[in-house]
Structures are given as C-alpha cells and as structure tokens.
C-alpha cells in the first residue's frame, strides 16, 4: 500500500535532537518550533513571509482566538510536530486565525501564495473559505466531519459518523442480526445518523422495525427507548448518542427480556468509563484504531506540556499526506489535487485513510465490544484498502 510509514523518527519524544532541516515556519504563528506555546498575533505580511524557491506554501486556517482557540492551538501544534518528527525541509506552514473572520483569513492565505489550505475547523466556515480558494485553484482539506461540505475543491478530513454506523451494522448483520431499530436524536447529527442507518440496513438486506427520535435529555431518550421496546420485533438497536444517555436508553431495552445487540457510534470512542457501564455490557461500536494515538498523545504532551485534543491527530496526518504528495509537486505550481485520490490512500495516526470521489476521507474502522468490564476489539481495522 502506498502512503507514509511511521519510522522511529516519527513521534520522537521532546528533548531528542531533531533538526528541522531548513523547514521554515513563519514567525508569529503557532506552528513555530516547540517552546512555551506563543500567544497568537496578527497573520503574516509581506515583511515576514519571504520568497520561497524550495518550499511549498501551505496555509493552516484554524481559530487562534475566541472559545475554540485551544482546539486551534492543538491543530497548529500538531502540524509543527509533524514537520519536526519527519525532518521536513520543503514545506512552509503559515497559520491564519479564522476566529477574526474566516473569509479574511482565506483571502490573506491565497494572497500570500499558499497553494493548499488545511482547515477550517467548523463547517460554517468551509463554504466561504472554499469559494475564495477556488478562485485561485487552491484545494481545501477541512477538519470538519460534515460530509455534506465535501466536493469540488473541498476534502473532508474529519471522522464522519456515517462510516461508524455502517461498519457496525455490517458486523451485526454478519453475526446474526436481521431486524433493526434505532433511537435517533433531533438535530443535524441525528439526521445524518438516521440516513446512514437506513442506508446501511438496506445494504445488508435487513429490516427496519422501528425508529424513534428524542431531544437530547434524560427524560426524552428514556421515553424513546420505552416506545421502541413496546414495538419489539428487533434483534439489534442503534442508539446514536454518547455513552451517558445511551446507557439510560439501553437500560430500558434490557428490561424487555429479549436479547438485543446494542449498537453505539464513534461518540463512544475514548470514553474511559464506558466499560463499567452495566447496561452497555455486550454493546458494540466502531471507531478508528487507537494503536498509534497514545504514542502521538504522549509525544505531544512531552513536547508542548499539555494533552492534545483528539482532533489534533488530523493536523498531524494532514501534514503527513502533504509531504507524501510533495514528491510529485513542483514548488510554486498548483497543488496536484488528483494525488489526494490515490487508490492505496495514506497512513496516519488513525491508520489507513483515502479520499474517494466524494472528497470524504474513508477510514479503516475496527469494531469494539464492551464485555465484562473491558472494551475489546472483535473485528480489527483493515491494514490497507483492497479495492
């Protein structure tokens, strides 16, 4: 499989001698060499963004002020870490603060000659950034997890819930489930989960017995679970909710006396207390492998002094794929967008991923099961894409 492999240099711990081999990160952005995290200031100007003859210009558009600044800081730090860990010499990454205006950040990014945009973080900013970037033929790799914004010059790097639901439904079907029900929250996430559930069940030839929606609170989800339990006739139930509320719904289902395969979503990943939740014993959910994440998190904390937000791994992986493609990208030329759709895909912190025609990152997911106070892997993630 083509892609980037993880060598000993990747995730090197802080304090090790790692030379950046001339890879410049523009001053006054957060993608500076590791040190006490600098406070964000104004973006680059002609005075601080020198001419490049050997480096590709890449823009990072993330919030560096306001309420989402800590998340943006993690993404910025993670891109720096990827540059340092790989000893890159041909990328210049400049950070632009979207909190002060995503449109202005995008305009400055393309005016400064950046040929690729990593970001923005939130879906509400994707459209305006993409429109401005399109005028200069600059592709956008967003950290959003909304598949609806993909297409054209926009590629979605985030983990989309639809893939987790599909993987779990296929696993449940392969293990004897045929009749499905679902408890779905109101709102955008619920709409996406419901569409993915219905498509996935149809895809395996299963039957949908019942679907109930609810508002995201204790009383509403319990009522929805009671209605589903009264409907009966199903052997697998999707609860498209985080583990706390899902446990309340599962408790209502357990009382009906018929064995039911509870299916969770990617929202359960990384929840430390989930294994001790009795009503979720036997439940399954799908997520990317955590095999490399802890190494990444430990290295990040050693370098920057605090734990990263989990989304930081997307910033790291975005740099890895850019470096992989840079071998076929001439400095000063447009980014070779077609290279993002390599059949073999890429390898990152979360394992294999690739962009299909839709522009959404397809990821290799594993299925996990909660059993006897532990979370175990019952179906490992593929190590490569076979088709």
Q: Is residue 351 part of a domain?
A: yes
> Are 209 and 256 within 8 A, CB to CB?
no
Q: Is residue 7 part of a domain?
A: no
Regarding whether 146 and 168 lie in a shared domain, the answer is no
> Are 183 and 224 within 8 A, CB to CB?
yes
Regarding whether 139 and 178 lie in a shared domain, the answer is no
- Separation between Cα atoms, residue 252 and residue 255, nearest integer Å: 6
Regarding whether 303 and 232 lie in a shared domain, the answer is no
Q: Is residue 333 part of a domain?
A: yes
> Are 120 and 61 within 8 A, CB to CB?
yes
Q: Give the β-pairing of 154-156 and 179-185.
A: unpaired
Regarding whether 153 and 170 lie in a shared domain, the answer is no
Looking at the DSSP bridge assignments, the partners of residue 60 are 95, 118
Q: Is residue 263 part of a domain?
A: yes
Considering only CA atoms, which of 348, 379, 349 is closest in space to residue 164?
379
Regarding whether 169 and 130 lie in a shared domain, the answer is no
Give every CB contact of residue 133 below 8 A, 6+ residues apart in sequence: 106, 109, 110, 117, 139, 140, 153
- Separation between Cα atoms, residue 110 and residue 117, nearest integer Å: 9
Q: Is residue 33 part of a domain?
A: no
Regarding whether 177 and 90 lie in a shared domain, the answer is no
Regarding whether 183 and 124 lie in a shared domain, the answer is no
State the residue range of the domain holding 255: 161-268
- Separation between Cα atoms, residue 190 and residue 355, nearest integer Å: 24
Give every CB contact of residue 106 below 8 A, 6+ residues apart in sequence: 61, 96, 117, 128, 129, 132, 133
> Are 269 and 377 within 8 A, CB to CB?
no
Q: Is residue 222 part of a domain?
A: yes
Residue 121, pLDDT score? 97
Kind and range of the H or E run holding 222: helix 218-231
Q: Is residue 198 part of a domain?
A: yes
Regarding whether 148 and 173 lie in a shared domain, the answer is no
Maximum CA extent, the chain? 71
Regarding whether 152 and 87 lie in a shared domain, the answer is yes
Regarding whether 148 and 79 lie in a shared domain, the answer is yes
Give every CB contact of residue 332 below 8 A, 6+ residues apart in sequence: 52, 53
**pTM higher than 0.75:** yes
CATH number at residue 232: 3.40.50.2300
Q: Give the β-pairing of 346-348 and 261-263.
A: unpaired
Q: What's the number of domains the chain is made of?
A: 2
**Integer distance in angstroms from the first to the last C-alpha of the chain?**
11
Q: Is residue 379 part of a domain?
A: no
DSSP for 34-61, please give it: SSSPPPP-----TTTS---SS-EEEEEE
Residue 255, pLDDT score? 72
Residue 269, pLDDT score? 92
Regarding whether 167 and 264 lie in a shared domain, the answer is yes
Q: Give the β-pairing of 284-288 and 365-371.
A: antiparallel
Considering only CA atoms, which of 267, 311, 269, 301 is closest in space to residue 72?
311
Per-residue pLDDT of the chain in tens (387 residues, 90 and over written 9) = 334 334 333 443 232 222 222 233 333 333 333 333 333 333 444 445 566 778 999 999 999 999 999 999 999 999 999 999 999 999 999 999 999 999 999 999 999 999 999 999 999 999 999 999 999 999 999 999 999 999 999 999 999 999 999 999 999 999 999 999 999 999 999 999 999 999 999 999 999 999 999 999 989 999 999 999 999 999 999 999 999 999 999 999 987 777 899 999 999 998 878 999 999 999 999 999 999 999 999 999 999 999 999 999 999 999 999 999 998 899 999 999 999 988 789 999 999 999 989 999 999 999 999 999 999 999 999 988 876
Regarding whether 296 and 261 lie in a shared domain, the answer is no
- Estimate to the nearest angstrom the gap between the alpha carbon of 16 and the chain centroid: 29
């Amino acid at each position: 499989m083509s892609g980037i492999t993880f060598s000993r240099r990747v995730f090197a711990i802080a304090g090790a001698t790692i030379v950046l081999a001339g890879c410049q990160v523009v001053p006054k952005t957060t993608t500076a060499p590791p040190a006490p995290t600098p406070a964000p200031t104004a973006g680059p100007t002609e005075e601080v963004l020198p001419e490049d003859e050997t480096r590709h210009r890449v823009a990072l558009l993330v919030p560096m002020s306001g309420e989402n600044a800590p998340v943006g800081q993690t993404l910025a730090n993670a891109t720096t870490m990827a540059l340092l860990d790989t000893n890159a010499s041909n990328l210049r990454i400049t950070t632009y603060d979207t909190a002060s205006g995503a449109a202005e950040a995008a305009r400055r990014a393309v005016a400064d000659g950046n040929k690729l945009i990593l970001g923005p973080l939130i879906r509400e900013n994707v459209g305006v950034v993409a429109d401005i970037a399109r005028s200069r033929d600059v592709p956008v790799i967003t950290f959003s997890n909304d598949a609806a914004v993909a297409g054209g010059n926009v590629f979605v790097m985030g983990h989309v819930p639809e893939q987790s639901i599909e993987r779990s439904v296929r696993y449940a079907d392969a293990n004897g489930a045929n009749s499905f029900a679902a408890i779905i929250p109101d709102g955008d996430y619920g709409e996406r989960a419901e569409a993915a559930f219905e498509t996935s069940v149809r895809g395996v030839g299963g039957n949908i017995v019942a679907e109930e929606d609810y508002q995201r609170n204790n009383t509403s989800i319990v009522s929805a679970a009671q209605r589903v339990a009264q409907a009966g006739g199903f052997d697998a139930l999707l609860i498209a909710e985080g583990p706390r509320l899902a446990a309340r719904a599962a408790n209502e289902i357990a009382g009906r006396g018929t064995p039911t395969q509870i299916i969770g979503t990617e929202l359960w990943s990384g929840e430390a207390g989930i294994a001790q939740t009795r009503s979720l014993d036997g439940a399954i959910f799908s997520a990317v492998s955590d095999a490399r994440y802890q190494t990444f998190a430990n290295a990040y904390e050693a370098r920057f002094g605090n734990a990263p937000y989990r989304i930081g791994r997307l910033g790291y992986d975005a740099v890895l794929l850019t470096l992989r493609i840079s071998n076929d990208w001439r400095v000063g030329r447009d980014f070779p967008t077609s290279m993002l759709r390599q059949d073999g895909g890429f390898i990152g912190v979360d394992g294999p991923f690739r962009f299909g025609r839709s522009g959404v990152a397809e990821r290799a997911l594993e299925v996990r099961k909660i059993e006897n106070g532990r979370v175990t892997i019952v179906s490992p993630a593929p190590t490569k894409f076979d088709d």
